[in-house]
Amino acid sequence: MSLRKTAVADLTEKQAASELKVLATEIALHDAAYHRDDAPTITDAAYDALRKRNDAIEARFPKLKRADSPSKAVGAAPATGFKKVQHTVPMLSLGNAFSDEDVADFMDRIRRFLDLDAEEQIEMIAEPKIDGLSFSARYENGQLVVAATRGDGSEGEDITANIRTIKAVPDFLMGDVPKLIEIRGEVYMTKADFAALNAAQEAKGGKIFANPRNAAAGSLRQLDPKITAERPLKAFTYAYGEVKGMEWKTQWDFLQSLKAWGFPINPRTKVCKTLDAMLKEYRKLGEDRAGLPYDIDGIVYKVNRVDLQKRLGFVSRAPRWATAYKYSAEQAETVVENIEVQVGRTGTLTPVARLKPVNVGGVVVSNATLHNEDEIARKDIRIGDSVIIQRAGDVIPQVVESLTAKRPKDSKPYKFPTKCPACGSHAIREEGEVARRCTGGLMCPAQSVERLKHFVSRNAFDIEGFGEKNIEAFFEDDLIESPADLFTLEKRGGRPKLKGREGWAEKSIDNLFAAIERRRTISLERFIYALGIRQVGQATARLLAHAYGSFDAWRKAMLAAKDKDSDAWTELNAIEQIGESMADDLVGFFAERHNRDILDSLAKEITIEDFVAPDTSGSAIAGKTVVFTGNLESMSRGEAKAGAQALGAKVAGSVSKKTDLVVAGPGAGSKLKEAEALGVKVVTEEEYLKLIGA
């Protein structure tokens, strides 16, 4: 960290090399967080500063430029799950300007490159820089054929099905169209739509997005285009990639073609004839920024004449003929009145700063995220501190720094709690993780609803007619608190209590209690899965059931495994596919008294069947490796997997030479192709059911 404070001019070669190495890793992590996970962990300004520092060091020590230098890469490699699309013309990034001088320098560079006199004016286009997610859509003879995200600039993700759900991107182009054109632009969400989406997500317990950009990105990069279709996405278009059969003299003319074909172009686009006009436009747009319906993070200047653009060309990852003049995040000074720790539905502890309310760029801010324990320690943020806050991406405010000079004398560093503020259980932080997590699980009120939903879900206790809504309602009205309560509900006077409720007729109450009764006996593997222990999914639950055979044996072994010198610990780790971190989660679950209490009260109510190894003799798929892909109609993925395993098959997630059989439903994509390429046997769901005699 201290190196960062050294001016680039004062760095020794050795220091420069080591800092470039650190920067490459750090920037790559931020790229992945931003582009791939849609969850940035630093502000745009902080990120830009890292890149600027990297570029400055490379400029001073060109031969130290690394093979993995961030200046060579754009964005992050595409996430898995989507088909990949090569961009025939790379999707580049833009250089940045942070001051009027930077813009003047940019114009001077252009003039010098084109060998023009200093007085000569170059006509520029100024477009708002939309803070969204860029895409490229390829049209052949006016018809949309494929659309992709930027990815790393040369290879993106195939989002054709998702793009088709966005009205702003037409399937067919109107009027006079080229033989081929790739249209590029930005998918975004308006501020109002973003707020409404988050409110709806919160109501149904879905993912909350940090800002409109992340919401747009998260909505566009859905493997299921039906979800994309439900999200209010819009787009602006502003550039082209590969083109055949049409040319334009200027960017302005191209924008008019976009409009004629039916694409939205930004109405705030301006022609600027002088540097002065460019800077005026920057300020004007900046003043209007807060009132625009969508987020912008700067203004993009582009040389208007296409012939000049061609002469100017590109330098590493950005065109010489365009740059982005960024707006700085809006900042304000205030006081941290308290630091509170919130517990998420999955047990993650998140610190929040309660602030003395302050106006930041037209919005009154009284809370700011502190991200996690390390962030507080790194910035040494304390209760009572005067701090600078800013709205990053214009939405969730962040604490930039503490003003230590104003710090009260008696202030003490903030101590992050090691107990869950919601239930008092230990909050632990596993190696390599940034978040501290409550171990309370089933008994933590912040988590219990989610845990209960999981407990009754299809692959766990599978209580018919007992959906997520009922769990929420029953929990709210104190009818159930922990899993065992489901089985005591009737004895505790559940019937009369349910009778008065809306939607609960005599018949449905009968059905509910009958469904609960039917599940008083459960297989060991379903039971283990139902507990919702971290990292313990269906497959692991099955492995454990297989290894220990009975609930009592499993319980004893997990308690004994607390001692890492014990045979029990060694045996647990020896189970195929169970690694140390999973073993830790299992032992950790049993180490908590309240979890044992929950198990004890459950055991009083239900019968947990011993694991019986399935008789797989005579099974057509015993010993075979099976892959399921596409949509299955008669069963869920989980069921299909468990069923195949019960018949002695191994179920794999991807196709390889070792695969014996691929069961492909409608919508199967790359796995099906892979199977065909490798000559692996492919069957439909119907054929598969016949094969296993179901």
Asked if residues 406 and 418 have their Cβ atoms less than 8 Å apart, the reply is: no
**What is residue 361's three-state secondary structure?**
coil
Q: Give 93 or 402: the residue with its C-beta nearer to ligand IVH.
A: 93
- Sites for ligand IVH among residues 246-285 (CB under 6 A): none
User: Closest approach of Cβ 263 to ligand IVH, in Å?
Assistant: 13
Stretch that binds ligand IVH, among 316-324, 467-475, 498-506, 639-647 (CB under 6 A): 316-324
Strand ordering across the sheet containing 270-272: 95-97, 322-326, 296-303, 124-130, 270-272
Q: Which range of residues in 3-11, 124-132, 557-565, 677-685 is near ligand IVH by CB under 6 A?
A: 124-132
Per-residue x/- mask for ligand IVH, residues 318 to 347, rule CB under 6 A? -x--x-x-----------------------
Residue 590: how many CB atoms within 10 A of its CB? 20
Site for ligand IVH in 462-521 (CB under 6 A): none
Shortest approach of ligand IVH to residue 151 CB, angstroms? 11
Contact 137, 169 (CB under 8 A): yes
Judged by beta carbon, residue 217 or residue 662, the one nearer ligand IVH is 217
**Contact of 691 with 662, CB cutoff 8 Å:** no
| Cα distance between residue 441 and residue 423, in whole Å | 10
Q: Is the dihedral of CA 400, 402, 403, 405 positive or negative?
A: negative
Task: Compute the least distance from the CB of residue 218 to ligand IVH, in Å.
Answer: 16
DSSP 648-686: T-EEESS--TT--EEEE-TT--HHHHHHHHHT-EEE-HH
Question: Please, are residues 440 and 594 in contact by the beta-carbon 8 Å criterion?
Answer: yes
Compare residues 319 and 393 and give the one whose CB is closer to ligand IVH: 319
Q: Which is catalytic among the residues 21, 52, 129, 249?
A: 129
CA dist., res. 184 & res. 132, Å (int): 12
Helix, strand, coil percentages in the chain from 3-state DSSP, rounded to 5: 40, 20, 40
Range in contact with ligand IVH (rule: CB under 6 A) among 123-131, 202-210, 418-426, 607-615: 123-131
Q: Which of residues 78-117 bind ligand IVH (CB under 6 A)?
A: 92-94
Which of 11, 169, 300, 370 binds ligand IVH (CB under 6 A)? It is 300
Shortest distance (Å) from residue 295 CB to ligand IVH: 10
CB of 243 to ligand IVH, least distance (A): 14
Q: Considering beta carbons, is residue 94 or 640 the nearer one to ligand IVH?
A: 94
Q: Which of 127, 450, 485, 584 binds ligand IVH (CB under 6 A)?
A: 127
At a CB cut-off of 8 Å and minimum separation 6, what does 495 contact? 509, 513
Binding segment for ligand IVH among 111-119, 127-135, 335-343, 509-517 (CB under 6 A)? Answer: 127-135
- The helix (H) or strand (E) run that includes residue 541 is helix 538-548
Query: Is the distance from CB of 636 to CB of 571 less than 8 angstroms?
Result: no
Q: Give the phi and the psi of residue 198 in degrees, each rounded to 5.
A: -60, -40
Residues in the chain: 694
**Phi, psi dihedrals of residue 419, rounded to the nearest 5°:** -120, 145
State how far the alpha carbon of 419 is from the alpha carbons of 108, 162, 347, 439, in Å. Answer: 59, 43, 12, 9
Q: Which helix (H) or strand (E) element contains residue 516?
A: helix 506-518
State which of positions 556-585 bind ligand IVH (CB under 6 A): none
For residue 653, give both structure tokens: 């997630």
Nearer to ligand IVH, 134 or 304 (CB): 134
C-alpha gyration radius of the chain: 29
Q: Which part of the chain contacts ligand IVH (CB under 6 A), choosing from 2-10, 126-134, 666-674, 679-687?
A: 126-134
**Per-residue buried b or exposed e for 228-258, using 16+ beta carbons within 10 Å of the residue's own CB:** beebbbbbbbbbbbebeeeeeebbbebbebb
Q: How far is the CB of 264 from ligand IVH (least distance, A)?
A: 12
Residue 416-455 contact track with ligand IVH, rule CB under 6 A, x = bound: ----------------------------------------
By C-beta, is 38 or 127 nearer to ligand IVH? 127
Tell me which of 134, 348, 447, 629 binds ligand IVH, using CB under 6 A.
Answer: 134
| Residue 187: CB atoms within 10 Å | 29
Q: How many residues bind ligand IVH (CB under 6 A)?
A: 14
CB of 93 to ligand IVH, least distance (A): 5
228 or 237: CB nearest ligand IVH: 237
Closer to ligand IVH by Cβ: residue 269 or 538? 269
91 φ, ψ (degrees, to nearest 5): -95, 110
* 129 counts as catalytic: yes
The correct pick among 110, 122, 130, 173 for binding ligand IVH (CB under 6 A) is: 130
Asked if 129 interacts with ligand IVH (CB under 6 A), we say yes
Nearest approach in angstroms of CB 216 to ligand IVH is 11
Query: Closest-CB residue for ligand IVH?
Result: 134
Q: Mapped to the 3 state alphabet, what secondary structure does 681-693 carry?
A: EEECHHHHHHHCC
Region for 455 from its dihedrals, namely left if φ exceeds 0, alpha if ψ lies in -120 to 50, beta otherwise? alpha
Stretch that binds ligand IVH, among 317-325, 339-347, 409-417, 611-619 (CB under 6 A): 317-325
Closest approach of ligand IVH to the CB of residue 51, in Å = 11
Nearer to ligand IVH, 142 or 319 (CB): 319
Closest CB 310 distance from ligand IVH, rounded Å: 12
Packed helices 191-203 and 212-220: angle between N→C axes, nearest 10 degrees: 70
* Residues between 37 and 66 with contacts to ligand IVH, criterion CB under 6 A: none
Q: Which residues are catalytic?
A: 129
Positions touching ligand IVH (CB under 6 A) are: 92-94, 127, 129-130, 134, 186, 238-239, 300, 319, 322, 324
